[in-house]
Each structure stands twice: as C-alpha cells, then as structure tokens.
C-alpha cells in the first residue's frame, strides 16, 4: 500500500530501481530509455516510473539530496515494496587527480562524515560497501562499452559546499585513496545491509575539486547528459535476478 512518501501500490515498482538524486533526471531516464514507462509516484514531486529495458522491468525514482532524503526512499523501497536492488546514479566531484569531467566512478565503498550510522548502535564503525555482484557486473559492462571508469572509494558528505571550500579536508580524503565526493551512497549501502538487499552507487564526475581550473557541468547537463552512466546502470539492472 502507499506510504507517506510514495503513492505506488504493491507490484507497481520493479525489483531493481535506478535512483538519481534529481527527480527530473528520473523523468529523463524514463522517457529516454524505458519502454512503456508508467509514472507511479509524484508525491512531493519525487517522480518515480516503471517500464522495461531490453524487455526486463526496471524502475527509476528520485531520492532527493543528501543522506536523510535517500534514507527515507531507500528504506521504503526495500521494506515496503520488495525491491531487491537499488543502483544510485548520481554526480560527484572528483578528488583524485585521475578524474576528468564525465568520467564514471563506481563506488566499491563509501566513507562518510555523517552520523547516520549511529542509529544502528554498533560496537564500532560500520564500513558501507557495495554489492560485489552488481559492482563487478557494472565494471565489466563499463569496460566493454569503453567508458572511462575508476572503481574505488567515495566520500558521502553532509556538506555540499564544504568539500570544495576546505581544500585541506579534500586533500586528506584524497590522500587515503578516495576518488570523489557525493552525498548519498554511504546511507544507501547501510540501509541495503540492514535489509539484506543489494546496492551500488555510480557517479558521473560533474566537477573537479582537485584543480582550480576545472570547469563544471551546468544544472541542465547534470540532468540530461549523463548517457554513459545511464547505459551502464541499465545494462547492470537487467542482470539482477
């Protein structure tokens, strides 16, 4: 039955959901890539759609920005709609000097400066990691498609502007091998672990924090021009079963 944040009925959401932060990106994915897409949610303008890709049911739904927002939607998808896997498709700022605009980063793990994990009351610090099957599949597909890709650690930050403004903090994360900064993956990985489900985050590099002369994608480009990532994510989604 519907939740406070999702109008879908049971059976209207596929077993695998692609999850961008921006609900308008979800709309673009549905219109551009899915066959026979039907909208199942518009509550709070957090658009969600289900269609097929290569004949396989796939859903796409926005998560909003930040860990609290994805925490709501990922929990509801796993707990109330029997979703098996969520693949986050987002943008990220490149910390590693190897990253370039429009490169793909696949998050093997996700550090965080958030206190989100404290709610689990664990006797230590939890390490949020991706599902290995999804990770290895996505990396293989990206290689086959010739997409410039880095696989490794990201930082899911609660602070959008702080990462760019605090060069010292960014440099310290980079010195530990962290590839890029984004805002949601760590919570997604924790929630997937909590529910015994699968999760993967992949990101198009939209700006470069490691250099002052980087340029960056416009808001419209972030919404509409992440085609390499979309194709890798969709090809990965149809392998889930």
Q: pLDDT (tens digit, 9 = 90+) per residue, 102-153? A: 999 999 999 999 999 999 999 999 999 999 999 999 999 999 999 999 999 9
Identify the pLDDT of residue 240: 86
Whether the pLDDT of residue 212 is over 70: the answer is no
* Length of the chain as a residue count: 241
Cβ atoms of residues 185 and 154 within 8 Å:
yes
Q: Map out the domains of the chain with their CATH numbers.
A: 16-237 (3.40.50.1580)
Count of C-beta atoms within a 10 Å radius of residue 44: 13
The enclosing H or E element of 92 equals strand 85-94
Count of C-beta atoms within a 10 Å radius of residue 121: 6
Catalytic, out of 22, 96, 103, 207: 207
Whether the pLDDT of residue 162 is over 70: the answer is no
* Residues whose CB is less than 8 angstroms from the CB of residue 48 and which lie 6 or more positions away in sequence, other chains included: 6, 8, 13, 26, 39, 40, 41, 59, 60, 61, 62
Question: Which has the minimum average pLDDT: 10-24, 168-182, 219-233?
Answer: 219-233
Whether the pLDDT of residue 223 is over 70: the answer is no
Q: Does the annotation count 207 as an active-site position?
A: yes
**Chain centroid, CA 167 distance in Å:** 25
SS (H, E, C) 194-222: HHCCEEEEEEEEEEECCCCCCCECCHHHH
Identify the pLDDT of residue 167: 78
Identify the pLDDT of residue 211: 79
């Amino acid at each position: 039955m519907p939740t406070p944040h999702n109008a879908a009925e049971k059976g209207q959401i596929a077993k695998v959901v692609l999850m961008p932060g921006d609900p308008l990106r979800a709309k673009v994915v549905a219109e551009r890539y899915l066959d026979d897409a039907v909208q199942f949610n518009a509550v709070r303008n957090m658009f969600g759609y289900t269609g097929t890709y290569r004949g396989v049911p796939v859903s796409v739904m926005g998560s909003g920005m930040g860990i609290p927002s994805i925490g709501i939607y990922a929990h509801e998808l796993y707990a109330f709609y029997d979703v098996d896997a969520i693949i986050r498709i987002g943008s990220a700022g490149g910390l590693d000097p190897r990253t370039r605009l429009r490169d793909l980063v696949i998050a093997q793990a996700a550090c965080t400066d958030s206190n989100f994990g404290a709610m689990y009351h664990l006797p230590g610090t939890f390490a949020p990691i991706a599902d290995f099957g999804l990770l290895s599949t996505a990396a293989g597909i990206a290689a086959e498609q010739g997409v410039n890709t880095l696989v490794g650690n990201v930082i899911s930050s609660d602070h959008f502007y702080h990462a760019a403004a605090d060069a010292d903090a960014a440099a310290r994360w980079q010195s530990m091998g962290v590839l890029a900064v984004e805002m949601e993956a760590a919570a997604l990985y924790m929630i997937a672990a909590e529910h015994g489900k699968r999760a993967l985050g992949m990101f198009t590099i939209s700006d470069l924090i490691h250099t002052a002369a980087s340029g960056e994608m416009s808001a419209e480009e972030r919404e509409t021009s992440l085609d390499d990532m979309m194709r890798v994510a969709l090809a990965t989604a149809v392998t889930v079963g």
